[in-house]
Chain A
Amino acid sequence: MTIRTTARRRATALLSLVVACITLAACGSSNSAGADPTGKPTATGVKKGLTVYFIPKDTQNPYEVLADAGGKKALRELGGKVVVSSGTADTAAAQIPSIQAAIQAHADAIVIAGNDPSALCPSLNQASAAGIKIVSFDSDISCGTSPNHLFINQADTKVIGTSEVDLLAKEIHSTGQIAILSAAASATNQNAWIGYMKQELAKYPNMKLVSTVYGNDDPATSLTVLQGLLSAYPNLKGIISPTTVGISTAAQYLSSHKDVAAKVTLTGLGLPSQMKSYVHDGTVKSFELWNPSNLGYLAGYAAASLASGSASLQAGSTFKAGTLGSYKVLGPAAGIGPSVVLGPPTVFDAANVDRFDF
């Protein structure tokens, strides 16, 4: 640390500059060229050359990656392009720079999966003021009417909650203690679904929800709380895990502890690719999900239609979503603004689980 002469100091300074420049140059390879949406409307009423920013919860979540791929497919079909931008952590702060980048690139629409229901509203308001259409998917934002936005709902929120309870009830003959293994305590989606699960449980007087635990969508934490759960409630009959990380972690534990699996039934929301082997070895009988890729595809079409003015946020407005057919905008209800529902969730079991590639 003893650098004695000024010359050496200068050399050091110069060296750090050179190294920094090399570092910078190394990542300067990817270049963005903003395309102007000058195209004319196509047959579906959607302009060509649209730029849609997809801002997932983070860039690595497998579920979000599938959804982004669906969005890219949609915009490819429409002659536009998708830019995927987000952070590595599931925080609102990590998404804000991506919204700013969309504004600066004069994007036509933003499709966002909110890491926080409200923290993104100020930034999205700026985007909306700049003429960018806002679409939310996967996890809705609640900004009231500013900015007004369209929520692409994976399935009717209520149906997701109630159908999971019904699935479990069928398997455990509507009796026994059950528990929920959720994602983070602040997860908007999961909290909404759990609300409907509790309502639905009123129909099954012999099923008792004894605990809700949070695995933070992290396999290690999910495993810890699952194990605590099993210790706390030795008579537990069923577990609902409305998150892909939770259900696959629980399935791995049960499939390796057959004596526990014999007593406890597991269901929830899972990716067929991850759950396949557990369905075939009998650990899990059935679970459900929608196709995340279709969700992104629908969001892509919705964003492009809004940006082209061929669809609006008015209830009853319709737009075409490529191979998925035609969709209608639903009016605000039950805490969500204008929305479009992808469709009922698919139930997977041994008979069909191999037919899906997500």
Chain B
Amino acid sequence: MTAQATAPALPTERFARGAALLRARELGIAIAVLLVFAATTISNHAFANAHSIQQLLTGASLIALLGVGETMVVVTRNVDLSVGSVVGLSAYVVGDVFKHHSGFPVLLGYVLGIAIGAAVGAVNGAITTVTRVPSLVVTLAMLYVVRGVDGVVVDGRTIDPGAIPKSYTEVGYRTFLGVPWLALIVAVVVAAAGYAMRSFRASRDLYAIGSNPEAAALAGIPAGRRVFSAFVISGALAGLAGSLFLALHAQVDVTGGNGYELTVVSAVVVGGVAIFGGSGTVLGAALGALLLNTINQALVAAKISSFWNEAVAGGLLLAAIAFDRWLGLRVARSLQSVQGAHRDA
């Protein structure tokens, strides 16, 4: 959405309207979360309490964190399917280090997780940008490769709760003023990324690359470098999510993070990020994750058979995509009328 040579007149007005609708979009998801919450509370009064809310936030935080990185990749018209495998690998490796080096500094555990993720992200980014192979294929292959490496490393072992320092796992359950630490960490990441995506030139470039690659190239945007960075950040956040997975569950085996990739893409799409790039916010993605998790817990709380979880999640995802399309058409129509009005004046 950055103004380019090819952009029509009134870029600022267009941007303002687009931004207003995007905000409406995030508001819409937030309202959906509240509606699900309210409906569940009506069917089960016990649902509305501090514990439930803490649980909703904690349960959504890892997917929300992954959603931030995924958003950065998806707005460039790419996708990262390797995140679930990265979560598993980084969680296990960090746990294994704690298991064998009892004095290992807790903070370094996070650094290690992030480093592993960033390394995988760099491989994804390098292959995608250098060979120009579609990222869907590259990261699908990396999903297999990283999961395989994880399997070789794990080799049927598990990390038991006793092996991990208390000061590490407490990140998974401590609260500050009633808000879980995990949710705070994710909130900080979302706020920082959200600010960066709005304010920095380099992050605005991501949108430009995704909405019109040719125009972005003409405008002199170093697309390769930007896309590479997006993959590295997505990988690093997936690595951090792996470290937090270990803190939250205090145990991990080879199944850690299995299947997260599709949940994350779902959350991102529900959160209003266009799968073909160019628009969407990290806040939307995080709210999308919160909505999915709220529905999952609400079904149990509302005493609906958990067999319905997946069907409801799938239906919701389709509804979200269809809604986006409808919204997009409305934006297009309102833009046309703005342009028309301008021409008339």
A interface, CB within 8 angstroms of B: 1, 59-62, 64-65, 88, 185, 211, 213-214, 217-220, 223-225, 227-234, 248-249, 251-253, 256-257, 260, 273-274, 276-278
Among B46, B156, B299, point to the contact of A234 (Cβ < 8 A). B46
Asked whether A213 lies within 8 Å of B157 as measured between CB atoms, the reply is no
Give CA–CA (A198, B41) in the complex, Å.
29
Q: What is the minimal beta-carbon distance from B156 to any residue of chain A, in angstroms?
A: 4
Q: Offer 27 A-B interface pairs, CB within 8 angstroms, sorted by A.
A: A59-B151, A59-B156, A60-B156, A62-B157, A62-B158, A185-B307, A211-B300, A213-B306, A219-B256, A220-B62, A223-B59, A223-B249, A225-B300, A227-B52, A227-B297, A228-B296, A229-B300, A230-B55, A231-B297, A232-B300, A248-B251, A260-B51, A274-B158, A274-B160, A274-B251, A277-B160, A277-B162
Asked whether A232 lies within 8 Å of B44 as measured between CB atoms, the reply is yes
Residue of A nearest to B250 (CB): A252
Question: Would you call the interface of chain A mostly helix, strand, loop, or mixed?
Answer: helix
B225-254: which residues lie under 8 A (CB-CB) from chain A?
245, 248-254
Give CA–CA (A59, B151) in the complex, Å.
9
Asked whether A256 lies within 8 Å of B251 as measured between CB atoms, the reply is no
Asked whether A61 lies within 8 Å of B156 as measured between CB atoms, the reply is yes
Q: What is the minimal beta-carbon distance from B191 to any residue of chain A, in angstroms?
A: 25
Asked whether A214 lies within 8 Å of B306 as measured between CB atoms, the reply is yes
Give CA–CA (A228, B52) in the complex, Å.
8
Q: Which of A88, A219, A273 has most chain B Cβ within 10 Å?
A: A219
Known: A224-B293, A233-B46. A60 touches B154 (CB 8 A): yes
Q: Mark B30-72, 1 if CB is under 8 A from A, else 0.
A: 0000000000000010110101100100110010000000000
Residues of B within 8 A of A253 (CB): 173
Residues of A within 8 A of B155 (CB): 60
Give CA–CA (A232, B253) in the complex, Å.
29
Q: Which of B59, B154, B300 has most chain A Cβ within 10 Å?
A: B300
Residue of B nearest to A252 (CB): B250
Give CA–CA (A73, B171) in the complex, Å.
41
Residues of A within 8 A of B306 (CB): 185, 213-214, 225
Asked whether B303 lies within 8 Å of A224 as measured between CB atoms, the reply is no
Asked whether A248 lies within 8 Å of B161 as measured between CB atoms, the reply is yes
Residues of A within 8 A of B214 (CB): none
Q: What is the minimal beta-carbon distance from A166 to any residue of chain B, in angstroms?
A: 26
Give CA–CA (A60, B300) in the complex, Å.
30
Among B147, B151, B302, point to the contact of A232 (Cβ < 8 A). B302
Give the 3 A-B residue pairs with the shortest CB-CB distance, closest first.
A228-B300, A256-B173, A65-B156
Question: Would you call the interface of chain B mostly helix, strand, loop, or mixed?
Answer: helix
Asked whether B162 lies within 8 Å of A211 as measured between CB atoms, the reply is no
Asked whether A252 lies within 8 Å of B300 as measured between CB atoms, the reply is no
Counting CB contacts under 8 A, is B129 at the interface? no
Q: Which of B158, B252, B299 has most chain A Cβ within 10 Å?
A: B158
Asked whether A232 lies within 8 Å of B303 as measured between CB atoms, the reply is yes
Residues of B within 8 A of A211 (CB): 300, 303
Asked whether A218 lies within 8 Å of B258 as measured between CB atoms, the reply is yes
Q: Mark B262-304, 1 if CB is under 8 A from A, else 0.
A: 0000000000000000000000000000000100111111110
Residues of A within 8 A of B78 (CB): none
Residues of A within 8 A of B301 (CB): 228, 231-232
Asked whether A252 lies within 8 Å of B254 as measured between CB atoms, the reply is no
Give CA–CA (A220, B169) in the complex, Å.
15
Residue of A nearest to B131 (CB): A1
Counting CB contacts under 8 A, is B203 at the interface? no
Asked whether B47 lies within 8 Å of A88 as measured between CB atoms, the reply is no
Counting CB contacts under 8 A, is B255 at the interface? yes
Residues of B within 8 A of A234 (CB): 46, 49
Q: What is the minimal beta-carbon distance from A295 to any residue of chain B, in angstroms?
A: 16
Asked whether B298 lies within 8 Å of A60 as measured between CB atoms, the reply is no
Asked whether B296 lies within 8 Å of A230 as measured between CB atoms, the reply is no
Residue of B nearest to A251 (CB): B161
Asked whether A218 lies within 8 Å of B255 as measured between CB atoms, the reply is yes
Asked whether B162 lies within 8 Å of A276 as measured between CB atoms, the reply is yes
Asked whether B172 lies within 8 Å of A256 as measured between CB atoms, the reply is yes
* Besides A228-B296, A230-B55, A232-B301, 14 new A-B residue pairs in contact (Cβ under 8 A), listed by A number: A213-B300, A220-B249, A223-B59, A227-B59, A228-B297, A231-B46, A231-B52, A231-B55, A232-B44, A234-B46, A252-B169, A253-B173, A256-B169, A256-B172
Residues of B within 8 A of A273 (CB): 160, 162
Asked whether A278 lies within 8 Å of B156 as measured between CB atoms, the reply is no
Give CA–CA (A233, B49) in the complex, Å.
12
Counting CB contacts under 8 A, is B13 at the interface? no
